[in-house]
Amino acid sequence: MNRRRFLGIGGSVLGAGALAAVAVPSAARLFAEGRPGRLLTSELDLPEAFRIPLPVPPLLQPVRTDGTTDYYEITQQVARLEILPGVKTEAWTYGGSFPGPTVVTRFGRTAVVKHRNELPVPSVTHLHGGHTPADSDGYPVDMLLPVGSSPDADQGTAGMPGMSGMRHAASRNVVGERSYTYPGKQRAATLWYHDHRMGFTGPGVWRGLAGFHLVHDDEEGALPLPRGERDLSLMIADRSFAADGSFRYPAVDPSLASPGVTDPYANGVLGDVILVNGAPWPRLDVDRVRYRLRLLNASNARPYRLELDPQPPGGDALVQIGSDGGLLAAPVGHDGIDIAPAERFDVVVDFSRYEPGTQVRLVNRLGSDRTAEVMRFDVSSKEVKDDATVPDRLAAVDALDPSAAVATRDFAFRRSRSDGWTINGDPYQPGSSIAAPALGAVERWRFSTDLHHPVHVHLDHFQVIGRNGGDPGPYDAGWKDTVDLRPAEAVEVLVRFTDYAGTYMLHCHNLEHEDMAMMADFTVQ
């Protein structure tokens, strides 16, 4: 799409007044680079690619169980990690690792995860894609304050980094420890948990506060999909490093007492180091069998187009079996996948389609130089039995009926000259809902954009029914909780909120946009 085409669509979708508020040269630069945001370069020499083995995040074991519930504990703490070889990086972590430990739960069993905050700043934990009660959703002003701090702003938290202007009547602050309850009323899916603190999600995730949360169920377990060591969770994230090895981030206030980034990075921060499970450009030895890859884009702002290079004979290298909300009804073959921040794609790759000894790179076609590389798979020459297959039918996916929608709501994601990043013209105000859907009712929600915005909805997944007045896109299948909108796009989805009333959120998952107020509340009644 060229600049003239963008202006034509912009005029029809946004209207002349709305388009006038958009910095058109910035839009042209987005198309030229194929991505939003601005590159922040590292200040030290970067390692050679494909030298570090792919790490596997640790598996979190429950501290106890009973007939209905599994109980977990995570300590949020500062840790010095060797992310780049020979260099120590101070990270904010879940349990001392980046990514944090993987939580594995099952449909029908409640999981209670107790977080203890030993960080120097408040935190909020959101289970992204979780179907959870409102008080466990990770509302951005429900702060977990550090151990030893005071919940009273007049007695110290007003001077704590990240608390200035963050208190609100809607908040439910606690000190030291907080338990999040996840009742397990959702199908098997690849979820993730991350910091969600108002105004500071970007630096919190950038510094390491992210981890996988996997849900299993009997429907998935009955399928002959790859499992065990051949079921791999891959957290893909870009970062930049300062000369001393610390994470480099363009915060407007380096002490993080005030939120936001410097003006050149207002459209998102892009790193020049691609990490997979916390390692720069790793490699993995694979057998000539099928592998399940759970792909997560945990970058603040960078979208990827992921492809295998070389492609296997016959194409369809990446066979998609799942989306944000779990298994698809049937597999979909792709030569490459566009994945925006926070999206997940479960794919199966059959490495038996490659000759023994082939080095297969996972590449990013939206990147350049070092950011065009992601990781490498080295195909073994030994003969190994493969008992995994991808069946033609995967799961029962009930389609929502557009004719059943009882309401249609429009949500415009725009940048305002006066108010920054907005939804329906307003910056975020905690406790002020812009929609009140009825519990159990189907609604049609329409998202439109000026620039690139990955839109995330809390509480329940949705189904994409149209894009730009036509059919859904090639990556819109299944149940989604995050949908990628490129500049001047419009997407229609059907959503039905179930089980839990209360206040939830929708927002842009470009974390710099989110931190600069591109969020809104909705209240399920």
Please write the tens of the pLDDT for every residue from 388-397: 999 999 999 9
Alpha helices (H) in 354-405, listed in sequence order: none
Assess whether pLDDT exceeds 70 at residue 1: no
- pLDDT for 446 equals 98
Strand pairing class (502-508; 519-524): antiparallel
Domain 228-379 has CATH 2.40.50.360: no
- pTM value is 0.91
* Residue 357 phi, psi (nearest 5): 85, 0
Q: Which residues contact 47 (CB under 8 A, 6 or more apart)?
A: 84, 85, 280, 281
Protein fold of 64-221:
Immunoglobulin-like (2.60.40)
Whole-angstrom distance, CA of residue 226 vs CA of residue 387: 8
Span 182-195, pLDDT tens digits: 999 999 999 999 99
* Residue 115 phi, psi (nearest 5): -105, 135
- pLDDT for 418 equals 81
Burial 460-493, CB ≥16 within 10 A → b, else e: bbbbbbbbbeeebbebbbbbbbbbbbbbbbbbbb
The domain segmentation of the chain, as residue ranges, is: 3-38, 64-221, 228-379, 402-524
- pLDDT for 163 equals 36
Tell me the Ramachandran region of residue 340: left when phi exceeds 0, alpha when psi lies from -120 to 50, beta otherwise: beta
- Of 72-86, 157-171, 494-508, the one with minimum mean pLDDT is 157-171
Percent of the chain with pLDDT over 90: 86
Q: What is the largest CA-CA distance in the chain?
A: 68
Span 300-312, pLDDT tens digits: 999 999 999 999 9
- pLDDT for 336 equals 98
Q: Mean pLDDT for the chain?
A: 91
Span 64-76, pLDDT tens digits: 999 999 999 999 9
CB 195 within 8 A of CB 204: yes
Token pair of 8 as six digits: 């034509």
Span 114-162, pLDDT tens digits: 999 999 999 999 999 999 999 999 999 999 999 998 766 433 333 334 4
Burial class (CB in 10 A: 0-12, 13-18, 19+), 440: exposed
Burial 65-79, CB ≥16 within 10 A → b, else e: eeeebbebbbbbeeb
- pLDDT for 17 equals 28
- pLDDT for 474 equals 97
Assess whether pLDDT exceeds 50 at residue 375: yes
Confidence label for 420 from pLDDT (cuts 50, 70 and 90)? confident
- pLDDT for 169 equals 52
Assess whether pLDDT exceeds 90 at residue 35: no
CB 251 within 8 A of CB 203: yes
- pLDDT for 306 equals 98
- pLDDT for 21 equals 29
Q: Which CATH class is domain 402-524?
A: mainly beta
- pLDDT for 168 equals 53
Confidence label for 22 from pLDDT (cuts 50, 70 and 90)? very low
- Of 30-44, 63-77, 242-256, the one with minimum mean pLDDT is 30-44
Confidence label for 19 from pLDDT (cuts 50, 70 and 90)? very low
- Of 13-22, 334-343, 480-489, the one with minimum mean pLDDT is 13-22
Whole-angstrom distance, CA of residue 479 vs CA of residue 464: 8
Assess whether pLDDT exceeds 50 at residue 166: no
Burial 248-270, CB ≥16 within 10 A → b, else e: bbbbeeeebeebbbeeebbbbbb
Radius of gyration of the chain (CA): 22
Matching fold, domains 228-379 and 402-524: yes
Interior angle at CA 286, CA 281 and CA 187, nearest 5: 85
CB 180 within 8 A of CB 136: yes
Interior angle at CA 507, CA 503 and CA 510, nearest 5: 150
- pLDDT for 419 equals 80
> In the predicted model, what is the mean pLDDT of residues 490-495?
98
